[in-house]
Homo-oligomer: A and B are copies of this chain.
Amino acid sequence: MKTATEELVEICKAAKAASRRMALLSTDVKNKALRNIAGDLAAKKDEVLSANQLDYKEGESSGMSAAMLDRLMLNPGRLEGIAADVLAVAALPDPVGEVFDMRTLPNGLLLGKKRVPLGVIGAIYESRPNVTIDISALCLKSGNAIVLRGGKEAIHSNTALARVVQEATKRAGMPEAAVQLIENTDRTLVNELLRMREYIDLVIPRGGAGLIKMVVENACMPVVSGGIGVCHMYVDKSADIDQSVAIAYNAKVQRPTVCNALDCVIIHKDIAERCLPKIAAEWSKAGVEIHCDERSLAILKKNPSLKLKPAVAEDWGKEFLALIAAVKVVDSLDEALEHIDRYGSGHSEAIVTEEYGAAMRFLNEVDAACVYVNASTRFTDGGQFGLGAEVGISTQKLHARGPMGLRELTTYKWLIFGNGQVRP
């Protein structure tokens, strides 16, 4: 009998072999596979939902939190949404095959770059079973083979969904190993997977900070990490107050559980008295709890209807993922920049200002994937940025920064056309 490690190596080897064929597939085949997946998700929804019920019941009986159970749960509406997303990916242009930077050198060599798939992508994720489909769709469209490793809590759902994908892709003419799920949920296998640099070209972790840290620290192959967003908004002394209130409300309240949601408002002392009470009053309509530094607490405590707490050290640099915001009054733009430099996670940072010089300094000096002037950080999203779909938000600097779309799942190779050139 094979050991778990031997099985894992087989999966990875098969993925590598499949990736050679995937790289040569036509856009038509890839789109057909995606349409098959969307169709099969509808046709086989009973199988998928009953598998999901198994996970859900196990989750309930093991005392899983309501938030976790919600992440785990599939229903007909959610499945339809997932299928619609797959069709949206099918409708996007194929990034593979683009030839660029082509030029003829003085010695007559014609050379340039051709966009090609990365090869094999490993996805390591937690309890959301929709990731199985989302990430498969993006990887397939970009011509990559994929090895999926989902959380144990969702193993029945993931197995059912992976089967749907496998049948649908095979029917479209893709290799069998285009999409594989590691069904063995032994945790030590993740560490083994992270050493298989020979077979896996990129690992994408999707989940909480703990998972991402574990992957980044242990992977031998390249990782695109991200998704941790400690987002600040600096209200400059020259800010338009209505704009500040609207942006602060949108960025904090519209969807507080995601990485591009606002965590901390930094406000200039000259405008704090006028602006902060309005931001706080608006927030209070949605039940936002405000963790205040001393100066903001002095301003806001006049309004007894606000949920205020004195900020503690851990509030700075914290991704709340909830209706909680930290607030700090500063003396200057410089102080705001220093705070962001120290506590930001390099995700999305915004300034609200009417002063040209302040806007330009903020854009130039803040080191983050996305730097905003007078707009909500909630726009940091592949769909909103016009990339069509995204596999995640990168907060590292190599390869891709910010929303990663299909193109960011590709690489290039140099093509060199000669007629006998040798190097002098």
Contact B413 A374 (CB under 8 A): no
Tell which of A42-50, A155-163, A239-247 binds the partner. A239-247
Contact A422 B367 (CB under 8 A): no
Q: Does A379 contact B (CB under 8 A)?
A: yes
Q: Known contacts A370-B416, A399-B399, A413-B369; decide if A379 and B421 are in contact (CB<8 Å).
A: yes
Q: Which of B197, B363, B411 contacts A415 (CB 8 A)?
A: B363
Q: Does A274 contact B (CB under 8 A)?
A: no
- Chain A 215-233, CB-CB to B under 8 Å as 1, else 0, gives 0110010111000000000
Docked CA distance A269–B351 (Å): 68
The residue among A242, A370, A398 with the most chain B CB atoms within 10 A of its own CB is A398
Residues of B contacting A359 in the complex (Cβ-Cβ under 8 angstroms): 417
- Chain A 192-218, CB-CB to B under 8 Å as 1, else 0, gives 000101000110000000000000110
Chain B, Cβ-Cβ closest to A352: B420
Residues of B contacting A399 in the complex (Cβ-Cβ under 8 angstroms): 222, 398-399
Q: Known contacts A375-B421, A378-B423, A422-B378; decide if A369 and B119 are in contact (CB<8 Å).
A: no
| Chain A at the B interface: SS class | mixed
Chain A count of residues within 8 A CB distance of the other chain: 70
Q: Which of B105, B368, B422 contacts A246 (CB 8 A)?
A: B422
Q: Known contacts A398-B411, A399-B399; decide if A416 and B24 are in contact (CB<8 Å).
A: no
Contact A421 B119 (CB under 8 A): no
Contact B250 A413 (CB under 8 A): no
Q: Known contacts A376-B422, A423-B250; decide if A414 and B397 are in contact (CB<8 Å).
A: no
Q: Which of B220, B224, B402 contacts A414 (CB 8 A)?
A: B402
Docked CA distance A411–B367 (Å): 11
Chain B, Cβ-Cβ closest to A249: B422
Chain B, Cβ-Cβ closest to A359: B417
Contact B397 A119 (CB under 8 A): yes
Q: Does A84 contact B (CB under 8 A)?
A: no
Contact A375 B119 (CB under 8 A): no
A337 to chain B, nearest CB (A): 9
Please name 5 further chain A to chain B contacts, defined as beta carbons within 8 Å, in addition to the given A201-B398, A371-B415, A372-B418, sorted by A numbering.
A105-B385, A375-B418, A376-B421, A398-B399, A399-B399
Offer 5 A-B interface pairs, CB within 8 angstroms, sorted by A: A109-B375, A250-B422, A250-B423, A375-B421, A401-B411
